[in-house]
Chain A
Amino acid sequence: MSALVIENGRVIDPAQKIDAKLTVVIDDEGNIADLTSKRVRLPNADVVDARGAIVCPGFIDLHVHLRDPGHEYKEDIDSGTKAAARGGFTLVCCMPNTEPVNDNAAVTDYIVKRAAAVGSVTVLPIGAISKGQKGEQLADIGEMAAAGAIAISDDGRWVQNSSLMRRAFEYAKGFRLPIITHAEDLSLRGRGVMNEGSVSSELGLEGMSPAAEEIAIARDIQLAELTGGHLHVAHVSTAKAVELIRHAKRKGIRVTTEVTPHHFTLTDEVVRGYDPNTKMNPPLRTEVDRRAMIAGLRDGTIDCIATDHAPHAIVDKEVGFDQAAFGIVGLETALSLGLKLVEERQLTLKELIALLTIKPANVFQLKGKGSLKKGTDADITIFDPKKAVTITAKDFLSKSRNTPFEGWKLKGCVTSTIVKGSIVYP
């Protein structure tokens, strides 16, 4: 590997409170060697001209579905990490709802090795809480941790059994693993397919009550307090849920959370028209909830942005709204949607970058990630925040096209993504 010099860019690194025109120097081992205001000329170095662009730490996504192993027709580690790189993400954490479920070290090991072999970006696996995500018996938590799992979650299925969840908190604590909860009381959700509200009543679609999410979060907060474990609430989506988390944080309970770009951008009004690409779980909520997501990002209640990238093939979606799979792809649209908040003056550019870099790194205590500190891995994203883009699903590097943002005219385009000193995109 040759050394790399990134010059003429505006370097923003919220972790080090840097916002200046600097040159980034990366050594031939892929580490950050220097940030300097001087011109740098190295004999054998490659040079990236970042004039007019922002140079920042690589984005980190704590919540993606790579569908590998088992559902490679939707996505695999190769295509999913290419999509991540195109979106500016240099590190993604992948959920365990694969086939087989990542509930044992063999699957964890497969993901780690496969990602090392074909992955464009760093992949950190999340193991299951329970065997088969069935909510009955603990998965091989310690062995998965030893194989590289950085958190555990039964994402997609809330652990209904409170006793099992308590034991999971207690046991995982010993391995320093956070527990990610997909907060949803399934008995209350019932057959719901969209947010329960005036729109669901009008459309004749079964509603998913916000209370199903709030009840689940309230219980999990109680268990985090009881056990002292670290609770990470995946994709928070209701105003009351944000309030529950805000309250818990004030009490000093170890709880963190994330929000998806679609939950801070869209509301259930877009479900009119019955486009299955507006169906996700948690569902799009109301304008009050959407505003609460932005308020939560601003006051720090919500720790970071995560995409919940959930690729599905046409055959999973073109079956009518009720039967369509939940979820949308998110890696390749996240930056532009975040920049929309900046344009609307809801967030500053620095805050947005922090929410995509150091803040998610801190949630899972990913050492040496999320900043441009000297000596750390040179994971860097370079993007042009002003460039006009039209979201076009057929250009996605993901295998799947399930986006509700098709045709949206936004701003912001990743020009280079660098992982450990190597340019992985374009």
Chain B
Amino acid sequence: MKLSLRHLLSVRDLTKRDVELILETSRSFKGISERDIKKVPTLRGRTVVNAFFEDSTRTRLSFEIAEKRLSADTVNFSISGSSMAKKGESFIDTIRNIEAMKPDIFVIRHSQAGAAAQAAKLIHGRVVNAGDGQHEHPTQALLDLFTIREQKGRLKGLKVGIVGDIAHSRVARSDIVLFQKMGMEVSVAGPATFMPFGIEDWNVKVFTDVRAMLPQLDVVMALRIQRERMGEQFFPNEREYARFFGINQAALHEAKESLVIMHPGPVNRGVELSTEVIDGPRSVILDQVTNGVAVRMAILYLLLGDTKEM
């Protein structure tokens, strides 16, 4: 069983069968992380470069742990201290140089949209987009999907809401497309300043009142609010954001008992989610993080397309 694609750049490129395959493979890999010895020899002899041109904690650790549990040789690159930062080497030249060392997989995080796609044109190995600007974060969307299925036992027909800064969120862009692909109904909520241009064509329900959206949902995903957006006048201040668009116990009053609450992290406690909601029974935020390792193991494994050692 192989994926239909060579690089994982966008969830748009995945077929439904690809998604099913990733979810199934993730489930078998999840067990590895629960063993005493959390390591299999699957990617022994393979080199994975984690090229992080933008800071990251969760995603980078998650990829590195996934790679090590598959016995890959991992090399990390980060922008600070690199010759890109210090000597002004261009992104493309940096990629060409890393490529010259012949890695098997590039995991790329970059603050610019399209960076992974540009790198993929220069690379003989495989590229995994670990987040490119405001464009996409496909592995996050896949781990979100895996978590939803784990919680709900199904995907088709589920109602999922995404709250917050949709316009600037790569997670939202990947989630919306992937969730719809798998037959889920997606709605979004937030101030109109946070809605992308042309969202009326995205086949999503748009709410400006989070409380009106919540009662219908099976799953709600809150997005991180970036503080610098205040300076750009997208919203007046955090207090007001929390009051009208944050989710707290009171807002959940009319929500379904079974509502699951998610967040891609890192969370601003008391802004998009209140502390009691983050740490409450409906929150699966840490399950998302746990599942991230399994899903990334599955993706790395499937991209190399070699199933005989499974």
Contact = CB atoms under 8 A, between A and B. Distances in A.
State yes or no: do A and B come from one complex.
yes
Number of chain B interface residues as a range: 20 to 34
A293 to B, nearest CB: 21
A166 B173 CA distance: 44
Interface in B205-234: 232
A205 B114 contact: yes
Contacts of A202: 173
Contacts of B167: 201
Contacts of B93: 318
Interface string A169-213: 000000000000000000000100000111011111111000000
Contacts of B110: 320
A348 interface: no
B114 A203 contact: yes
A196 B196 CA distance: 10
- Is the contact region of chain A dominated by helix, strand, or loop, or is it mixed? loop
B281 interface: no
A152 B22 CA distance: 60
A204 B117 contact: no
Contact of B197 (A190, A198, A315, A323): A198
A89 interface: no
- The residue among A202, A203, A204 with the most chain B CB atoms within 10 A of its own CB is A204
B112 A321 contact: yes
Contacts of A320: 91, 110, 112, 114-115, 118
B67 interface: no
Contacts of A315: 90
B201 interface: yes
Given A320-B112, A320-B115, A321-B114, A201 B91 contact: no
B7 interface: no
A202 B197 CA distance: 9
Number of chain A interface residues as a range: 20 to 34
Contacts of A28: none
Given A204-B132, A273-B117, A323 B198 contact: no
B113 interface: yes
A207 B197 contact: yes
B199 interface: yes
Contact of B196 (A201, A273, A322): A201
A105 B167 CA distance: 47
Contacts of A205: 113-114, 133-135
Contacts of A73: none
B92 interface: yes
Contacts of B134: 204-206
Contact of B199 (A196, A201, A323): A201
B69 interface: no
Contact of B118 (A201, A203, A274): A274
B197 A196 contact: yes
Contacts of B90: 315, 318-319
Contacts of B115: 320
Interface string A84-95: 000000000000
B133 A204 contact: yes
B82 to A, nearest CB: 15
Contact of B91 (A200, A204, A319): A319
A273 B114 CA distance: 7
A273 B120 CA distance: 11
A293 B276 CA distance: 57
Given A204-B135, A274-B114, A322-B112, 14 more contacts: A198-B197, A198-B201, A201-B197, A201-B198, A202-B173, A203-B114, A204-B134, A204-B173, A205-B113, A205-B134, A318-B90, A319-B90, A320-B91, A321-B114
Interface of A: 190, 196-198, 200-207, 273-274, 315, 318-323
Interface of B: 90-93, 110-115, 117-118, 132-136, 167, 170, 173, 196-199, 201, 232
Closest 4 CB pairs of A and B: A274-B114, A204-B135, A204-B134, A320-B112
15 contacts: A197-B197, A197-B198, A200-B197, A203-B113, A204-B134, A205-B135, A274-B113, A274-B117, A274-B118, A319-B92, A320-B91, A320-B115, A320-B118, A321-B112, A323-B112
